[in-house]
Amino acid sequence: MANSKITALTELTTVADEDLVAIVDDPSGTPTSKKITKANLVKNIAVSDLANGTDGELITWNSSGVASAVPVGTATNVLTSNGAGAAPTFQAAAAGGSIPDVLYDSTYKTGTGINTVASSSIDTFGSWTELFSNIGTGKKVLGLFCKNGSGGAGKASFEIEIGEGAVGAESTVSRISGYYAGSENWQFPLNRTVTNNVRIAVRVREGNTNANSWKIGIIVGTA
């Protein structure tokens, strides 16, 4: 093969792992011309060998398959996928779940209005019983705990309503239904936003005429 300048060789635009590259080993000591495969060459690239970039950016590939960088986000941003064919971006984190900050039930009797009574008329609600005179701002009802009292003999369906508003003007914001066979405990998950600084009350009705006493409480968390 005649000697040729590298600049005179045919250009290769795609490289396979087994393709060879000429390399000089130990150039500052005993230089020796050698060969290395593309696969062995690239697997030994250290992080320090990469080109300098901007702190906080991430390497990605754009829709054309060209390497590019994801711009830096701001503090508390999270890396978010924008779907196939689009580079990810740093975006504000979605709102998190509610964290309970107040617990009321038959065990934690803080305040008034834990006990409420069903009507002696079948499928008729008893009176509203107050749990919170003022629930505060930015609150959600996250769950409800209840237990029908010792009078809960027999079997019947029941329905519990959570209402907000002044005495005599309550409006229902959530309704829970169930069925009991004797005295039982229940826990119901909820995620109901309520009006700021509103009064919260509960009431019960049953599919019988027992007029059972109920213990009811709710978990309240931040919205």
pLDDT digits over 180-196, tens only? 887 888 888 888 889 99
197-219: buried (b, 16+ CB within 10 Å) or exposed (e) per residue?
ebbbbbbbbbbbebebbbbbbbb
Asked if residue 100 has pLDDT above 70, the reply is no
- pLDDT category of residue 67 using cuts at 50, 70 and 90: confident
Query: Which tops the pLDDT comparison, 45 or 36?
Result: 36
Q: How far apart are CA 172 and CA 198, in angstroms?
A: 13
Cβ-contact 163, 176 below 8 angstroms? no
Query: Which tops the pLDDT comparison, 161 or 2?
Result: 161
Q: How far apart are CA 166 and CA 195, in angstroms?
A: 12
- As to burial, measured by CB atoms within 10 angstroms (0-12 exposed, 13-18 middle, 19+ buried), residue 170 is buried
The percentage of residues in the chain with a pLDDT greater than 70, rounded to a whole number, is 88
Q: Is 41 left (phi over 0), alpha (psi -120 to 50) or beta?
A: alpha
Q: Using CA of residue 34, residue 35, residue 41, residue 44, what is the dihedral sign?
A: negative
Asked if residue 16 has pLDDT above 80, the reply is yes
pLDDT given at position 107: 36
Mean pLDDT, the chain, rounded, equals: 82
Nearest to residue 103, comparing CAs of 143, 53, 63?
143
Q: How far apart are CA 182 and CA 133, in angstroms?
A: 32
pTM of this structure: 0.51
Average pLDDT over residues 80-105: 71
Q: How far apart are CA 173 and CA 85, in angstroms?
A: 44
Distances (CA, A) of 138 to 30, 43, 141, 142: 75, 55, 11, 13
Average pLDDT over residues 208-214: 82
CATH 2.60.120 domain residues, the chain:
100-222
User: What would the CATH number be for the domain defined by 100-222?
Assistant: 2.60.120
Q: 16-20, 47-51, 90-94, 212-216: which has the highest mean pLDDT? A: 16-20
